[in-house]
Amino acid sequence: MLDTVTRRADAEALDRADPLAARRAAFILPEGVIYLDGNSLGPVTHKAKARVAEAVATEWADGLIRSWNTAGWIDLPARVASRIAPLIGARPADIAVGDSTSVNLFKLLSAALDRAGGRKVILSEPGNFPTDLYVAEGIAELKGAELRLVEDVAAALDDRVAVVMVTQVDYRTGRKHDMAALTGKALEAGALVLWDLAHSAGAFPVDLTGADADFAIGCGYKYLNGGPGAPAFLWVAPRHQEAVSPLRGWFGHAAPFAFENHYRPAEGIRRFLNGTAPVLSMTALEAALEAYEGVDMAAVREKSAALCDLMIARVDATCGDLVTLASPREAALRGSQVSFRFPDGYAVMQALIARGVIGDFRAPDILRFGVTPLYTRYVDVFDAVEIMAEILTDRSWDQPQFHKRAAVT
Ligand SMILES: Cc1ncc(COP(=O)(O)O)c(C=O)c1O
């Protein structure tokens, strides 16, 4: 249906009919920018901006240390958990919010190996996000386990596999795993499953409980819009909650303010917390999550698929001979991003950014565009592709300033 969108007016008509269109007003988006990078860093919401300013001005400046009690700082992780829960098909009581995704992975991978009945293989994919692979290498070294990387995880399950560690949506291509199907196969093979939801939470409906998964981690600064370096989250199925975190901190203690010399893990998910929460970041994340209040995640998924389909159709029509689609064509197999391969992808992305279209580049040759249905419009996708086609056709990307690599791509 979306290859019938050939004029900007057609895209405008889709925006007029979009049931999520009004959600865009919650976000601060710079004039003249088409932001297709919310899968790297979500934009700030009006609410989050105001809440952080207020927290600094009143809770920190006036309340000082009293605010741990009077402003409810101590309960922030639990409050944020309750806002994340509906997005991932989980109970708030099974989610701990804090630390980075990498640190949370360290905690849960260690816990998973402890509960794997002596099995010693961590099974993952060579295309998994590097931090996941690095953390797994470290845990494997510490625990005398083996990290095994294979293209087809389901086919490589055997009775030595302790835990399958997979990212649901591939950060380069956007390929999406069927969570229920892969979890089912792993459980059948006697393995545990740990899902990285960095590119899933807030992007489409996730149902950890329905899939009967074991463990999950996810990111606060991408689709959840919590701000740069926002706290991450972890989820542990109730049946695994007597596992103990290898990082034992006082906020995970049964009685933090008893100041005992020995560690006694808190009951339930709180034992996976460690140290003091980053209150201002946590405040930003809590406020940002209001943008999801009352949102039908099925509608988010539907619009995400349509935006991605539109992008693919417009690239096919305007510059499909110049780039190679790296994402699955079939919407059911994709997350909420579209990627293209181009040998000088870095320079093309810099040229796009110079024209106000912000996506990102992932080595070696991926142009990556995230779509975020709460604020991405059909016209944004239409205009972005028009600009990309121009840049590719007139080769304006091939200028020295666009080849100069910055530290962050
Ligand atoms: C799949 C995946 N996992 C983890 C991370 C990042 O982890 P951290 O927040 O610890 O830097 C990313 C970041 O892009 C990611 O794409």
The predicted-structure confidence for 243-270, as pLDDT tens digits, reads as follows 989 999 999 999 999 999 999 999 999 9
Task: Among 237, 258, 292, give the residue marking a domain's end.
Answer: 292
pLDDT at 2 over 80: no
Per the structure block, which two tokens stand in for 364? 């070696």
Tell me, yes or no, whether 313 lies in a domain: yes
- Ligand 1, atom 7, lies closest to the CA of 101
Counting from 1 in the atom list of ligand 1, the atom nearest the Cα of 102 is 10
Tell me, yes or no, whether 391 lies in a domain: yes
* Same domain, residue pair 215 and 307: no
* Same domain, residue pair 242 and 391: no
Task: Among 292, 315, 349, give the residue marking a domain's end.
Answer: 292
User: Strand pairing of 146-149 and 95-97?
Assistant: unpaired
By percentage, how much of the chain surpasses pLDDT 90? 97
C-beta pairs of 318-327 under 8 Å, 24+ apart in sequence: 318/385, 318/386, 318/388, 318/389, 319/385, 319/388, 319/389, 319/392, 319/393, 322/392, 322/393, 323/367, 323/392, 326/172, 326/173, 326/174, 326/366, 327/173, 327/174, 327/175
* Same domain, residue pair 138 and 194: yes
* Same domain, residue pair 105 and 176: yes
* Same domain, residue pair 232 and 126: yes
Q: What are phi and psi of 303, to 5 degrees?
A: -70, -40
Q: Are 203 and 336 a contacting pair, CB within 8 Å?
A: yes
Tell me, yes or no, whether 166 lies in a domain: yes
pLDDT at 1 over 80: no
User: Strand pairing of 324-325 and 360-362?
Assistant: unpaired
* Same domain, residue pair 7 and 78: no
Per the structure block, which two tokens stand in for 171? 């950060």
How many helices, marked H, and strands, marked E, lie in the chain? 13, 13
Q: Using CA atoms, how far apart are residues 29 and 42, in angstroms rounded to an integer?
A: 10
pLDDT at 360 over 70: yes
User: What is the best residue among 101, 135, 222 to mutate for testing ligand 1's pocket, by most ligand atoms within 8 Å of CB?
Assistant: 101
Map residue 366 onto helix, strand or coil.
Answer: strand
Q: Using CA atoms, how far apart are residues 314 and 306, in angstroms rounded to an integer?
A: 12
What pTM did the predictor assign?
Answer: 0.97
Q: What integer best gives the mean pLDDT of the chain?
A: 97
Residue 167 Cα to ligand 1 midpoint, Å, equals 10
Tell me, yes or no, whether 40 lies in a domain: no
pLDDT at 204 over 90: yes
pLDDT at residue number 155: 98
Task: Among 292, 318, 351, give the residue marking a domain's end.
Answer: 292
Tell me, yes or no, whether 251 lies in a domain: yes
* Same domain, residue pair 91 and 166: yes
Q: Using CA atoms, how far apart are residues 64 and 354, in angstroms rounded to an integer?
A: 43
Q: Name the residue with higher pLDDT: 262 or 3.
A: 262
Residues having CB within 6 Å of any atom of ligand 1: 100-102, 129, 131-132, 167, 171, 196, 198, 219, 232
User: What is the best residue among 40, 219, 234, 362 to mutate for testing ligand 1's pocket, by most ligand atoms within 8 Å of CB?
Assistant: 219
* Same domain, residue pair 128 and 271: yes
Domain range for 385 is: 2-31+296-403
* Same domain, residue pair 125 and 253: yes
pLDDT in tens, 226-248: 999 999 999 999 999 999 899 99
Q: Chain-centre distance of CA 61, in angstroms?
A: 33
pLDDT at residue number 3: 75
Q: Are 39 and 370 a contacting pair, CB within 8 Å?
A: yes
What residues act catalytically?
129, 196, 221-222, 368
> Which CATH number covers residue 241?
3.40.640.10
Instruction: Specify the DSSP class assigned to residue 34.
Output: E
Counting from 1 in the atom list of ligand 1, the atom nearest the Cα of 104 is 10
Which residues is 122 bridged to in the sheet?
Answer: 147, 163
* Same domain, residue pair 227 and 319: no
Residue 110 Cα to ligand 1 midpoint, Å, equals 18
Tell me, yes or no, whether 42 lies in a domain: no
pLDDT at 4 over 90: no
pLDDT at residue number 18: 98
Tell me, yes or no, whether 408 lies in a domain: no
Please tell me the total count of domains within the chain.
2
Tell me, yes or no, whether 39 lies in a domain: no
* Same domain, residue pair 158 and 226: yes
pLDDT in tens, 87-134: 999 999 999 999 999 999 999 999 999 999 999 999 999 999 999 999
CB atoms within 10 A of CB 2: 19
> Which CATH number covers residue 320?
3.90.1150.10
Q: Using CA atoms, how far apart are residues 2 and 368, in angstroms rounded to an integer?
A: 20
Residue 219 Cα to ligand 1 midpoint, Å, equals 7
Counting from 1 in the atom list of ligand 1, the atom nearest the Cα of 169 is 1
Exposure of 293 in the CB half-sphere (CA atoms within 13 A): 10
Q: Are 124 and 161 a contacting pair, CB within 8 Å?
A: no
* Same domain, residue pair 360 and 378: yes
Dihedral, 95, 167, 191, 215 alpha carbons, nearest 10:
0
Q: Using CA atoms, how far apart are residues 81 and 31, in angstroms rounded to an integer?
A: 33
Q: Are 119 and 162 a contacting pair, CB within 8 Å?
A: yes
Counting from 1 in the atom list of ligand 1, the atom nearest the Cα of 229 is 9
